Amino acid sequence: MSAASLPVPTEQPPFWKPQNSTLPASISGEYKRKATEPPESEPVRFAQWTRQDLVKEVIRLTARCEELQKASAAAHASGLQPAAPKAAPVVNTPNLEVHAEKILSNMRKNIKAQLKWKPSCKTGSARWSYTTIVPEDVLKHILKIPANKPAKGCKLPVSDFTKLVGDCSASIRYGCLYITGLHVNLRYSDSELTASGSYGLP
């Protein structure tokens, strides 16, 4: 069979066009109208846009951006701003005096239990440290911090610390061990109080 005798394929219509018109006229017209439109999911082909179409789209987007900026500025001016997060409520501990005394008593016992003889006790440079949980309002009560000020760590003179906690000395065979140095360090964060310092012979 020669190439001239081969059947010539006819051009098929696009997939969204009907291939016959056997539908009723009332349905066929609507079907043809929708079928000749590209699917909704088909991406916008900017390459097919003219320069004039692109300029119009840029102008439209710029105008919309300006509208949003003006609306945002108006909202700020009228006070329509997101509400600031509320501070966590202050938890009030019942019987502050009793709670504070219990904390100080436990602190005194634990510090005294750490005062053991070490060679560094000769120079008063042995170290002790104690950590416990103390509610903020209890710490303010212990350190006489005003209610409107936050509780935080500090350096407390040794004399003031011993007046606050009580006698922290410990007897050894040939003498007595005491808290030494000028200050006791107090660190406080997230309701956790850490007291630390040095001890040794006087």
Which pLDDT tens digit goes with each residue over 55-106?
778 788 888 888 888 887 777 776 655 554 444 445 566 688 999 999 999 9
175 in any annotated domain = yes
Question: By residue range, what is the domain housing residue 178?
Answer: 97-200
Flag whether 47 is in a domain. Answer: no
- Domain assignment of residue 71, yes or no: no
The 10 Å CB-count burial string (b at 16+, else e) for 70-108 is eeeeeeeeeeeeeeeeeeeeeeeeeeeeebbeebeeebb
Q: How confident is the model at residue 25 (pLDDT cuts 50, 70, 90)?
A: low
Greatest distance between any 2 Cα atoms in the chain: 126
* 122, part of any domain: yes
152 within domain boundaries? yes
- Does residue 148 belong to any structural domain of this protein? yes
8 Å CB contact between 188 and 200:
no
The per-residue pLDDT for 16 is 47
Within a domain: 57? no
Count of Cβ atoms closer than 10 Å to residue 67 Cβ: 10
The single-letter code of the amino acid at 55 is V
The model's pLDDT over 143-177, given as tens digits with 9 standing for 90+, comes to: 999 989 999 999 999 999 999 999 999 999 889 99
pTM of the full predicted structure? 0.53
Q: Report residue 176 as tokens.
A: 């007595």
Q: How far apart are CA 153 and CA 134, in angstroms?
A: 12
Number of domains in the chain: 1
Specify if 51 maps to a domain: no
Q: Residue 103 corresponds to which tokens in the numbers above? A: 């904390």
Residue 134 main-chain phi, psi, to 5 deg: -135, 120
